[in-house]
Amino acid sequence: MRITKFGHCCLLIEEKGLRILTDPGSFSSGFENLTDIHIILITHEHADHLHTESLKTVLQKNPNAKIITNTTVKSILEKEEITSTLLEHGQSSTEKEILFEAIGEKHALIHTSIPQSQNTGYFINNRLFYPGDALTNPERPVEILALPVAGPWVTIGESIDYAITIKPVICFPVHDGNLKSPGIAHRLPTLTLEPKGIRFVIPETEKTIEL
Protein backbone atom coordinates (compact mmCIF):
# COMPACT_ATOMS: atom_id res chain seq x y z
CA MET A 1 0.00 0.00 0.00
CA ARG A 2 1.29 3.45 -0.99
CA ILE A 3 0.20 6.49 1.00
CA THR A 4 0.80 10.16 0.21
CA LYS A 5 -0.32 12.74 2.76
CA PHE A 6 -1.50 16.15 1.59
CA GLY A 7 -1.82 17.55 5.08
CA HIS A 8 -4.27 17.04 7.92
CA CYS A 9 -6.56 14.17 6.83
CA CYS A 10 -6.20 14.23 3.06
CA LEU A 11 -4.52 11.03 1.93
CA LEU A 12 -3.89 9.47 -1.45
CA ILE A 13 -4.03 5.74 -0.85
CA GLU A 14 -2.92 3.43 -3.65
CA GLU A 15 -3.78 -0.24 -3.28
CA LYS A 16 -3.70 -2.80 -6.09
CA GLY A 17 -4.10 -0.14 -8.77
CA LEU A 18 -6.96 1.68 -7.03
CA ARG A 19 -6.34 5.34 -6.19
CA ILE A 20 -8.34 6.54 -3.18
CA LEU A 21 -8.49 10.13 -1.89
CA THR A 22 -9.69 10.85 1.64
CA ASP A 23 -11.24 14.02 3.07
CA PRO A 24 -10.12 16.82 0.71
CA GLY A 25 -10.68 19.60 3.23
CA SER A 26 -9.70 23.19 3.92
CA PHE A 27 -6.65 22.32 6.05
CA SER A 28 -5.03 20.40 3.18
CA SER A 29 -3.52 21.42 -0.14
CA GLY A 30 -1.71 19.98 -3.12
CA PHE A 31 -4.35 17.37 -3.87
CA GLU A 32 -6.29 19.60 -6.26
CA ASN A 33 -4.21 18.64 -9.29
CA LEU A 34 -4.29 14.88 -8.76
CA THR A 35 -5.56 12.76 -11.62
CA ASP A 36 -6.64 9.14 -12.07
CA ILE A 37 -8.57 9.17 -8.78
CA HIS A 38 -11.04 6.29 -8.59
CA ILE A 39 -12.61 6.74 -5.14
CA ILE A 40 -13.09 9.75 -2.85
CA LEU A 41 -13.94 8.94 0.79
CA ILE A 42 -15.51 11.69 2.91
CA THR A 43 -15.98 10.88 6.59
CA HIS A 44 -18.03 13.87 7.70
CA GLU A 45 -19.22 17.40 7.00
CA HIS A 46 -16.68 19.60 8.80
CA ALA A 47 -14.76 21.96 6.54
CA ASP A 48 -11.36 20.48 7.35
CA HIS A 49 -12.66 17.24 5.78
CA LEU A 50 -15.15 18.50 3.21
CA HIS A 51 -14.42 21.66 1.23
CA THR A 52 -16.85 21.69 -1.66
CA GLU A 53 -14.93 24.09 -3.89
CA SER A 54 -11.78 21.98 -3.62
CA LEU A 55 -13.84 18.87 -4.21
CA LYS A 56 -15.27 20.38 -7.38
CA THR A 57 -11.73 21.09 -8.59
CA VAL A 58 -10.79 17.46 -7.99
CA LEU A 59 -13.89 16.29 -9.86
CA GLN A 60 -13.07 18.49 -12.83
CA LYS A 61 -9.85 16.54 -13.26
CA ASN A 62 -11.43 13.23 -12.21
CA PRO A 63 -14.99 13.25 -13.59
CA ASN A 64 -15.37 9.49 -13.15
CA ALA A 65 -14.31 9.44 -9.49
CA LYS A 66 -16.86 7.81 -7.19
CA ILE A 67 -17.58 9.62 -3.92
CA ILE A 68 -18.37 7.35 -0.98
CA THR A 69 -19.78 8.96 2.15
CA ASN A 70 -22.65 9.09 4.65
CA THR A 71 -26.17 10.56 4.68
CA THR A 72 -25.23 13.97 6.10
CA VAL A 73 -22.47 14.62 3.58
CA LYS A 74 -24.58 13.26 0.74
CA SER A 75 -27.31 15.81 1.49
CA ILE A 76 -24.74 18.63 1.38
CA LEU A 77 -23.33 17.38 -1.91
CA GLU A 78 -26.78 17.05 -3.46
CA LYS A 79 -27.30 20.79 -2.96
CA GLU A 80 -24.13 21.31 -4.98
CA GLU A 81 -25.36 18.83 -7.62
CA ILE A 82 -22.55 16.41 -6.79
CA THR A 83 -23.36 12.72 -6.96
CA SER A 84 -22.26 10.40 -4.17
CA THR A 85 -22.82 6.85 -2.92
CA LEU A 86 -23.83 5.94 0.63
CA LEU A 87 -21.67 3.62 2.71
CA GLU A 88 -22.52 3.82 6.40
CA HIS A 89 -21.84 1.92 9.62
CA GLY A 90 -22.14 -1.81 9.15
CA GLN A 91 -22.19 -1.64 5.36
CA SER A 92 -19.50 -2.73 2.90
CA SER A 93 -18.80 -2.57 -0.81
CA THR A 94 -16.15 -3.79 -3.20
CA GLU A 95 -14.53 -1.52 -5.77
CA LYS A 96 -12.19 -3.20 -8.26
CA GLU A 97 -11.60 -6.08 -5.83
CA ILE A 98 -10.83 -3.70 -2.92
CA LEU A 99 -13.14 -4.10 0.09
CA PHE A 100 -14.46 -0.97 1.82
CA GLU A 101 -16.17 -1.32 5.20
CA ALA A 102 -17.91 1.56 6.98
CA ILE A 103 -17.34 1.66 10.74
CA GLY A 104 -18.61 4.26 13.20
CA GLU A 105 -21.59 6.59 13.47
CA LYS A 106 -20.77 9.74 15.45
CA HIS A 107 -18.06 12.39 15.57
CA ALA A 108 -16.17 12.34 18.87
CA LEU A 109 -17.62 14.70 21.46
CA ILE A 110 -16.12 18.20 21.29
CA HIS A 111 -18.31 19.71 24.03
CA THR A 112 -21.72 18.91 25.46
CA SER A 113 -23.04 22.15 23.94
CA ILE A 114 -22.08 21.02 20.42
CA PRO A 115 -24.19 18.30 18.76
CA GLN A 116 -22.21 15.32 17.49
CA SER A 117 -22.27 15.16 13.71
CA GLN A 118 -22.39 11.94 11.75
CA ASN A 119 -18.92 10.46 11.18
CA THR A 120 -18.11 7.34 9.22
CA GLY A 121 -14.73 5.66 9.37
CA TYR A 122 -13.53 3.42 6.56
CA PHE A 123 -11.58 0.17 6.69
CA ILE A 124 -9.82 -0.41 3.39
CA ASN A 125 -9.01 -3.86 2.05
CA ASN A 126 -8.73 -5.40 5.52
CA ARG A 127 -5.55 -3.37 6.02
CA LEU A 128 -5.95 0.35 6.73
CA PHE A 129 -8.46 1.86 9.13
CA TYR A 130 -9.16 5.58 8.78
CA PRO A 131 -11.58 6.52 11.59
CA GLY A 132 -12.24 10.13 10.63
CA ASP A 133 -12.91 12.29 13.71
CA ALA A 134 -13.58 9.52 16.19
CA LEU A 135 -11.78 6.91 18.23
CA THR A 136 -13.93 4.03 17.06
CA ASN A 137 -12.74 0.51 17.80
CA PRO A 138 -13.31 -1.56 14.64
CA GLU A 139 -13.23 -4.74 16.75
CA ARG A 140 -10.96 -6.55 14.30
CA PRO A 141 -7.24 -6.78 13.53
CA VAL A 142 -5.84 -3.60 11.96
CA GLU A 143 -2.53 -3.62 10.12
CA ILE A 144 -2.32 0.14 9.43
CA LEU A 145 -4.03 2.86 11.46
CA ALA A 146 -4.43 6.50 10.43
CA LEU A 147 -4.12 7.92 13.94
CA PRO A 148 -5.73 11.28 14.83
CA VAL A 149 -3.24 13.09 17.06
CA ALA A 150 -4.65 16.57 17.70
CA GLY A 151 -7.89 18.52 17.77
CA PRO A 152 -10.59 19.97 20.02
CA TRP A 153 -12.00 16.47 20.51
CA VAL A 154 -8.83 14.46 21.26
CA THR A 155 -5.75 14.80 23.47
CA ILE A 156 -2.41 13.23 22.61
CA GLY A 157 -2.86 10.92 25.59
CA GLU A 158 -6.21 9.71 24.29
CA SER A 159 -4.68 9.24 20.85
CA ILE A 160 -1.87 7.08 22.22
CA ASP A 161 -4.27 5.00 24.33
CA TYR A 162 -6.45 4.49 21.24
CA ALA A 163 -3.50 3.14 19.28
CA ILE A 164 -2.58 0.85 22.16
CA THR A 165 -6.16 -0.47 22.21
CA ILE A 166 -6.30 -1.05 18.44
CA LYS A 167 -2.77 -2.53 18.35
CA PRO A 168 -1.97 -1.91 14.68
CA VAL A 169 1.31 -3.07 13.22
CA ILE A 170 1.93 0.45 11.90
CA CYS A 171 0.26 3.81 12.48
CA PHE A 172 0.85 7.31 11.18
CA PRO A 173 -0.47 10.72 12.27
CA VAL A 174 -3.47 12.48 10.79
CA HIS A 175 -5.64 15.36 11.99
CA ASP A 176 -2.58 17.48 12.71
CA GLY A 177 -3.10 20.33 10.24
CA ASN A 178 -4.29 22.59 13.05
CA LEU A 179 -0.83 22.46 14.66
CA LYS A 180 1.70 25.14 13.80
CA SER A 181 4.40 22.65 14.72
CA PRO A 182 3.54 18.98 15.38
CA GLY A 183 6.10 18.77 18.17
CA ILE A 184 5.00 16.44 20.94
CA ALA A 185 2.04 15.17 18.88
CA HIS A 186 4.58 13.40 16.67
CA ARG A 187 7.36 12.72 19.18
CA LEU A 188 5.37 11.23 22.03
CA PRO A 189 3.67 8.47 19.99
CA THR A 190 7.09 7.36 18.76
CA LEU A 191 8.39 7.13 22.32
CA THR A 192 5.35 5.37 23.75
CA LEU A 193 4.06 3.15 20.95
CA GLU A 194 7.25 1.64 19.54
CA PRO A 195 8.20 -0.07 22.85
CA LYS A 196 4.79 -1.76 22.61
CA GLY A 197 5.55 -3.12 19.16
CA ILE A 198 3.57 -0.49 17.23
CA ARG A 199 5.60 1.21 14.54
CA PHE A 200 4.89 4.95 14.25
CA VAL A 201 5.69 6.47 10.85
CA ILE A 202 5.66 10.21 10.16
CA PRO A 203 5.06 10.87 6.45
CA GLU A 204 6.44 14.02 4.87
CA THR A 205 3.84 16.13 3.10
CA GLU A 206 3.36 15.06 -0.53
CA LYS A 207 6.02 12.34 -0.16
CA THR A 208 4.84 8.78 -0.77
CA ILE A 209 5.51 6.04 1.75
CA GLU A 210 5.05 2.31 1.23
CA LEU A 211 3.43 0.28 4.00
What is the distance between the alpha carbons of residues 52 and 92, in angstroms, rounded to a whole number?
25
Contacts of residue 30, defined as CB under 8 A and 6 or more positions apart, other chains included, come to: 6, 7, 205, 206
User: Half-sphere exposure of 105 toward its Cβ, with a 13 Å CA cutoff?
Assistant: 3
Contacts of residue 33, defined as CB under 8 A and 6 or more positions apart, other chains included, come to: 61
What is the distance between the alpha carbons of residues 115 and 33, in angstroms, rounded to a whole number?
34
Instruction: List, in order of start, the domains of the chain with CATH numbers.
Output: 2-203 (3.60.15.10)
In tens digits, the chain (211 residues) has pLDDT values of 999 999 999 999 999 999 999 999 999 999 999 999 999 999 999 999 999 999 999 999 999 999 999 999 999 999 999 999 999 999 999 999 999 999 999 999 999 999 999 999 999 999 999 999 999 999 999 999 999 999 999 999 999 999 999 999 999 999 999 887 788 889 999 999 999 999 999 999 999 999 9
User: Nearest 10 degrees: CA dihedral of 150, 8, 2, 106?
Assistant: 70
192 sits in the region (left: phi over 0; alpha: psi -120 to 50; else beta) called alpha
Q: Which residues of 70-109 are buried (b: 16+ CB within 10 A; e: fewer)?
A: bebbbeebeeeeeebeebbbeeeeebeebebbbbbbbbbe
Average confidence score pLDDT of the chain: 96
CB atoms closer than 10 angstroms to residue 188: 16
Q: Global pTM?
A: 0.96
